[in-house]
Amino acid sequence: MEYGISTAGSFSQDSSQRSVPEVLFQPSELGILERYSIIKEIYKVQLSPTIVSLAAHNDTKQAVIKKSIRKDMLIGQTQHDYARQECIIQAQLKHENVVELYDYTENEKEFVLLMEYCNDAGYFEDKIENRLTPIKNQEKLQQYGFDILTGLSYVHSQGIIHSDLKLQNALLQRPSEDDSQAGELPVVKICDFGLSHLVSETNGKAHMSYRCGTNGYIAPEIKPKDTLIGPEIDMWAFGVMLYEMCTAYKPTNLSNYRYGSGPIPFRDRDWKKHSKHVQDLILQCLQVDPSKRILPEDALQHPWFEQTF
């Protein structure tokens, strides 16, 4: 397996797991921030160390995203290590379905990531979680699912478990009007590697010290402390995302359903317009036993992607 992570450096995610590859944290010189001007803040919430702003390069005017992680709001060394690791991991990932990190730096107040800007980043969150509108267009649904799985397959091939896959971390990039007329489709890109884990070369697993992720997306095998996790946890989260895209709610929103307490509920009236194939793919993702869960590569071969509408 290839990891795409430099093995020369001194930072490892979890000192209790020696088999995790050591990686190099190489922030750029501080001067890089002076080359960008902030246009507007786009994400700032209470109690979060993260501020995301739209910025532009002073000379080229290229739009970029500046993500600042404020050190005074990080609790303990572990959270500092996660922030460092976010920079290292994202810097190594280059794929059309993953948000590209152009550069990163660190000063006494913050870690700063400069990355590719997605022009309709809030699309899934706004439509599905805020406006409670499912995606009815089956071709779009297929395309979004395909993009996320393609990105995820690449991320896993680099020895990385995203560990916080959810609608808010799937950003949409829409083509310009000209490109759209020429047939170019929107592209989904995976972002936010702030909770990611590097797998060990020996067993393909990573040690998760404390349960992390987002409620409703956390795979059932993740224990409160000390879980040996595999990339399968991301496929569970993907299953929840796909279910949400189809219905605008998570399975756990239905009459207090709890994962593992019975078959995944599919309420007839919400699935009339959707194919049986997409339901089947969701079921293969939401297998409680991680060894039975479908892998991204196999999911990309699922008959749903062959279906025409």
Ligand X SMILES: Nc1ncnc2c1ncn2[C@@H]1O[C@H](COP(=O)(O)OP(=O)(O)OP(=O)(O)O)[C@@H](O)[C@H]1O
Can you give the binding site for ligand X, defined by CB under 6 A? 42-43, 45, 48-50, 52, 65, 67, 99, 115-118, 121-122, 168-169, 171, 191-192, 194
Fill in the DSSP letter of residue 120. B
- Cβ closest to ligand X, residue 126 vs residue 297: 126
- Residue 65: name its binding partner from ligand X, Mg ion, none (Cβ under 5 to 8 Å by kind): ligand X
Scan residues 189-208 and list those touching Mg ion (CB under 5 A): 192
Q: How far is the CB of 223 from ligand X (least distance, A)?
A: 22
- Cβ closest to ligand X, residue 65 vs residue 112: 65
- Cβ closest to Mg ion, residue 234 vs residue 304: 234
- Cβ closest to Mg ion, residue 195 vs residue 294: 195
Q: How far is the CB of 22 from ligand X (least distance, A)?
A: 24
Q: How far is the CB of 66 from ligand X (least distance, A)?
A: 10
Stretch that binds Mg ion, among 168-176, 233-241, 252-260, 283-291 (CB under 5 A): 168-176
- Cβ closest to ligand X, residue 158 vs residue 173: 173
Q: How many residues bind Mg ion (CB under 5 A)?
A: 2
Q: How far is the CB of 43 from ligand X (least distance, A)?
A: 4
- Which contacts of 8-17 are long-range, i.e. CB under 8 A and separated by 24 or more positions? 11/81, 11/84, 11/85, 11/88, 13/81, 13/82, 13/85, 13/197, 13/198, 13/206, 14/206, 14/207, 14/209, 16/207, 16/209, 17/200, 17/206, 17/207
Amino acid at 217: Y
Q: Which two tokens stand for residue 290?
A: 């991680």
Q: Which of 90, 169, 196, 227 binds Mg ion (CB under 5 A)?
A: 169
Q: CB 175: neighbour CB atoms within 10 A?
A: 15
Gyration radius from the chain CA atoms: 19
- Residue 52: name its binding partner from Mg ion, ligand X, none (Cβ under 5 to 8 Å by kind): ligand X
- Cβ closest to ligand X, residue 33 vs residue 278: 33
Query: DSSP H helical segments within 187-271, as ranges?
Result: 232-247, 268-271
- Residue 171: name its binding partner from Mg ion, ligand X, none (Cβ under 5 to 8 Å by kind): ligand X
Q: Which two tokens stand for residue 236?
A: 């569970």
Residue with tokens 């309709």: 120
227 near Mg ion (CB under 5 A): no
Fill in the DSSP letter of residue 174. P
Distance CA 181, CA 192 (A): 31
Q: How far is the CB of 169 from Mg ion (least distance, A)?
A: 5
Q: Indicate the SS3 state at residue 307.
A: coil
Amino acid at 20: V
Sign of CA dihedral 216, 218, 221, 224: negative
- Residue 67: name its binding partner from ligand X, Mg ion, none (Cβ under 5 to 8 Å by kind): ligand X
CA dihedral 154, 151, 16, 288 (to 10 degrees): -110
Q: Indicate the SS3 state at residue 132.
A: coil
- Cβ closest to ligand X, residue 22 vs residue 129: 129
Q: How far is the CB of 135 from ligand X (least distance, A)?
A: 18
- Cβ closest to ligand X, residue 48 vs residue 133: 48
Contact of 80 with 74, CB cutoff 8 Å: yes
Q: How far is the CB of 62 from ligand X (least distance, A)?
A: 13
Contact of 278 with 304, CB cutoff 8 Å: yes
Q: How far is the CB of 39 from ligand X (least distance, A)?
A: 12
Task: Write out the residues near Mg ion by the rule CB under 5 A.
Answer: 169, 192
